[in-house]
Structure 1
Amino acid sequence: MEIRNIEKELAWQLRHEVMWPEKDADYVKLPDDDKGRHYGLFAENQLISVVSLFIDGSDGQFRKFATRVSEQNKGYGSILLNHLLVEAQQAGIKRIFCNARREKSRFYEKFGLAATEEMFTKDGKEYIIMERVFA
């Protein structure tokens, strides 16, 4: 297993397959993808999980966290998210946050993220903003 920085185009492929397969491929692209750090977890040279980190001063946001459906619930996403959190701290980020699908919020709590009061709905899916402040 290996985690490495990847090009945004590679992240787009897995994002589309996992997150919004019913939408056009462009739907998973972010306007600021050129500014992000994109990470991929590979097992046996197959891309299993992706996440993108966007840094703005001392704040960081991770977005478009996706794990291949056939590989979910095997710990790959947890390994990748732990890696991202270490990278964020090393980059000097004091607060990290994400827009979590409401049904996935318990997953993020395991990594020290707490729900905020901010929520929204996008394409019929409910999201809650979750954050963690590094000491």
Structure 2
Amino acid sequence: MSVDINIRSISAEETVPLRHSVLWPDHPVSYVLLPEDSSGFHYGAFLPGSSTPVAVISVFYDPLPTTGSSASPSQPPAAAQRTARFRKFACDPAYQGRGIGTGLLQHVFDVAAKEMGCSVVWCDARLSAAGWYERRGMRRFGEMFFKGDIEYVRMMREL
């Protein structure tokens, strides 16, 4: 079931409460702050009439990481492309499954291609969410790794 949402640019500070409560609630708030937040683009998804986002995402210019021999041979060298990386993507659990996160992610794909001039978008995804990203056109690359006790995999989508 999809709901009407309004997606708009927000400040990095406006992403923090949802980042913290959804992604790393057992860590201090400082754990969800990124040194590069000041140079990123931040978006929130809002329900009609609400001033509090129900989903947030942050996007940065960031080259694809070097993955050694596990890189796909069809993947062009990172230096040949302009790439965007999204981070700290969070949707309030009470609003998951309604198309809000999908809409926000599609917005990031559109912004990265049309406004940022990028040909690829990538992220470090929790392994538990990899299938969700795959259903939205992303594919895995590189090796799995851990952040704390959570397993991650890199995901990308060519635009």
TM-score range, shorter chain: over 0.9
**TM-score normalized by structure 2?**
0.81
Residue number in structure 1 paired with 2:104: 80
Report the count of equivalent residues.
134
**Rounded Cα–Cα distance in structure 2 between residues aligned with 1:49 and 1:119:** 26
Residue number in structure 1 paired with 2:70: none
Query: Which of residues 56, 74, 84 is equivalent to 1:60?
Result: 84
Displacement of 1:111 in angstroms is 2.0
Displacement of 1:40 in angstroms is 0.2
- Tell me the amino acid that sits aligned with residue 98 of structure 2: K
Q: Between Structure 1 and Structure 2, whose CA radius of gyration is higher?
A: 2
Pair 1:18 & 2:22 matched? yes
Residue number in structure 2 paired with 1:69: 93
Q: How does 1:92-131 map to 2 (within 5 A)?
A: 92-131=117-156
**TM-score normalized by structure 1?**
0.95
Query: Which of residues 10, 33, 39 is equivalent to 1:35?
Result: 39
Q: Looking at secondary structure, tell me which structure has more strand per residue.
A: 1
**Unpaired runs of 5+ in structure 2?**
63-80
- Tell me the amino acid that sits aligned with residue 125 of structure 1: I
**Rounded Cα–Cα distance in structure 2 between residues aligned with 1:109 and 1:27:** 27
Q: CA RMSD in A?
A: 1.1
Where in structure 1 do 4 or more consecutive aligned residues deviate above 3 Å? none
Report Cα offsets for 1:45-72 as digits up to 9, x if no partner. 1311000000147010000000011111
**Rounded Cα–Cα distance in structure 2 between residues aligned with 1:11 and 1:32:** 14
